[in-house]
Structure 1
């Protein structure tokens, strides 16, 4: 089965449907079975139709969980936290229809059971990035720690303590909420790091850190231990599409008037859908 990874939807339900149809049509045209489709997170928020996007992804996954799944992104976690009162909504959120929907509880329950990382055919899929100290195997194990918490009885208490920028550097000695927060921040928020692997969360809107800051994209740190696999990620619309031998960046700015992108992990075949400018660029992502 071929596998496609799709970048951040952010509530662009119409464009997601068009892209899924293109993937299916391409498979049928070449006499191939329907491929696996994996979304790298941020299914919702900022775009025009988050409720439809979330309902459709849940329906597709429920119908064929081995073929369709989605990672948790920072916006997805934000929705879960807002829905249970663990975090306040932001003025820029477009989550009202989900929160008022009669099936909100079922949607939140499905969403909180999504993975934070996947490993598929030598590809490591995450929403934002990985701490440079982690191997692919350690990334999967640490993601599982958070997944277990989100699916357990104490998940709401965890969400209340999840927010914060510290600790900003991974250590195997971390325990408790500090450990879980650091894992979540790496997998769903990181973009830039210092040379020694400390995560920066202040600079969000550019491809690089300010001049003289010494900040580098997490994937350009020379000591990154996941360099031996191909990492697939989203979250960073300022980068646009990134295709390197061991790196695939899929956030091509759908909600900002860019494109929604799918890449086949088997042969790097690229499928894209143009998107209207639903939000003016410069809003925090």
Structure 2
């Protein structure tokens, strides 16, 4: 695995996959606890299965505290730190229901989780940059390859060619993006879409619909990239 900078490596958690039966990577919950519980029930999740979130477990949805408690207290759940978690830590946004202990836990979250031949980040990997030059902001916010064009194509996952397969959220999608080297899982649950899980071992996608539209989002900020689902490598 190509190394990140020392600063990123300090926020990098590696998973021993031999410890788990099934491993599910899940898109951005954004405080949607009802849908998260429904997804776990649909997956028939056991204590021997691992759930890895691509970040943004908080903000915008109805129960950020509930999602934090669910993930924080579960020994079989991990998450990277998304840009919405980062906004809380930097004081750009506030959630009064979160305690100081909750914020300390959020500050302890990694920005990268790795499995064999796999990286989980919130935003993405900039294919134009060496790994060692990536910042926390890069990993949390990368989307468009156009300078200043956050929602203008091409997107990083259309240009990225590995070597690892990168699972990401942040970019809200009409449907999951499943490519050889990139898998996008933010299917906009908080915006009335779905909460989506990817089985890392089998390549199977499972999704549950949003119980409600917690917040509106313009169509221009929900991408429907014309990409085909490809077989799991």
Q: TM-score, normalised by structure 2?
A: 0.78
Among candidates 170, 182, 185, match of residue 250 of structure 1: 185
Say if 1:126 and 1:233, in contact at 8 Å, map to a contact too: yes
Size of the alignment, in residue pairs? 200
Query: 1:211-258: CA deviations, max 9, x gaps?
Result: xxxx4101222xx4x522211001111453111222210000000100
Alpha-carbon contact 2:117-2:163 (below 8 Å) kept: no
Q: CA RMSD in A?
A: 2.3
CA distance in 1, matches of 2:27, 2:59: 14
Contact 1:260–1:272 under 8 Å retained in 2: yes
Question: How far, CA to CA, are the matches of 1:272 and 1:238 in structure 2?
Answer: 13
Unaligned runs of 5+ in 1: 99-103, 143-171, 173-181, 195-199, 210-214
The alpha carbon displacement at 1:80 in A equals 1.7
> Within 5 A, what are the aligned runs for 1:1-285?
1=20, 2-23=22-43, 25=44, 34-60=48-74, 64=75, 67-82=76-91, 87=92, 89=93, 95-98=95-98, 104-134=99-129, 138=131, 172=133, 183-194=135-146, 200-204=147-151, 209=152, 215-221=153-159, 224=160, 227-238=162-173, 240-275=175-210, 276-282=212-218
1:191 CA drift (Å): 0.7
CA contact (8 A) 2:32 2:190 kept: yes
- Between Structure 1 and Structure 2, whose CA radius of gyration is higher? 1
> 1:241-285, CA deviations, whole angstroms, 9 ceiling, x for partnerless residues?
111222210000000100000001111111111102111122989
Distance 1:256 1:37 in 2: 22
Normalising to structure 1: TM-score of the pair? 0.64
Over 4 Å off, 4+ runs? none
